[in-house]
Amino acid sequence: MRLYSWNVNGFRAVVQKGFWDWFAACDGDVICLQETKATWEQVPEKHRTVKGYEVIWNGAGTKKGYSGVACFTRNAPQSWSQGLPDARYQGEGRTLLLEYEEFYLFNIYFPNGQMSQERLDYKMGFYDAFLEYAERLRQTKPIVVCGDLNTAHREIDLKNPKANADRSGFLPQERAWVDTFLSYGYHDTFRMFTAEGGQYSWWTYRFNARARNAGWRIDYFFVSDELKNRVKRAWIEDSVYGSDHCPVGLELDAR
């Protein structure tokens, strides 16, 4: 099973930048998008249906052109839902949960904490509410999590760790939460195969950052321990353009 995750920084924009060519070539079984910045009604009719895929959308953001996640899945899930159970973290269109026969799949656009202390607190609370929910679901099935975590975990996950030590996205408490998450028995699938740094999934549009590969790895696939032995490969498609992020991928062996 081949899965992809991509923060597209605006679905209506990325479809004008070769998205469907990439989509056709990637041959994904599930393609998860974040930061779609559109409600279902705002998506042009010609982009609402894809042959061979069920399209699932959560664009329930509190502001127009903000947040949003979507999934394209070849196999219809047994069930799906929007948002986290905690009402404090609903209403921004950040989460889709798809239930398949063998696992639950979270597609999440985690909050960014750079705007203010209030948003940083919201981000940390969102992290905790997500983990609590994942652990509850994990009692019945394994978990796959993908999306834009908005945190680089280790120094090798960004080009300039010292210069960004005081910036949300690489703060000690954010990195410590990732440590905590992994301690519950989740695995950063990319790091199962690649130990060295220098591969990133996001580059600011400023300062010619992508050409210089001055990036951050903030887009992930995680699996719970029950699926670890089924992870065949995980990768970053840093040659794919169309957004300030690039796609990341995961392949799971059949059981």
Give the model confidence (pLDDT) of 104-139 as tens digits. Answer: 999 999 999 999 999 999 999 999 999 999 999 999
Task: Convert the pLDDT of each residue in 132-174 to its tens digit.
Answer: 999 999 999 999 999 999 999 999 999 999 999 999 999 999 9
**Stretch 61-81: mean pLDDT, rounded?**
91
Q: Percent of the chain beyond pLDDT 90?
A: 95
Q: What is the pLDDT of residue 62?
A: 65
Q: Using the predicted structure, report yes or no on whether residue 243 has a pLDDT greater than 80.
A: yes
Q: What is the pLDDT of residue 144?
A: 98
Contact 46/36 with Cβ under 8 angstroms?
no
Angle at 223 between CA 76 and CA 157, to 5 degrees: 120
Q: What is the pLDDT of residue 122?
A: 98
Its pTM stands at: 0.97
Contact 197/213 with Cβ under 8 angstroms?
no
**Burial degree of 86 (CB within 10 A; 0-12, 13-18, 19+):** middle
Average pLDDT along the chain: 96
How would residue 64 be classed by pLDDT, with cut points 50, 70 and 90?
A: confident
Active site residues: 148
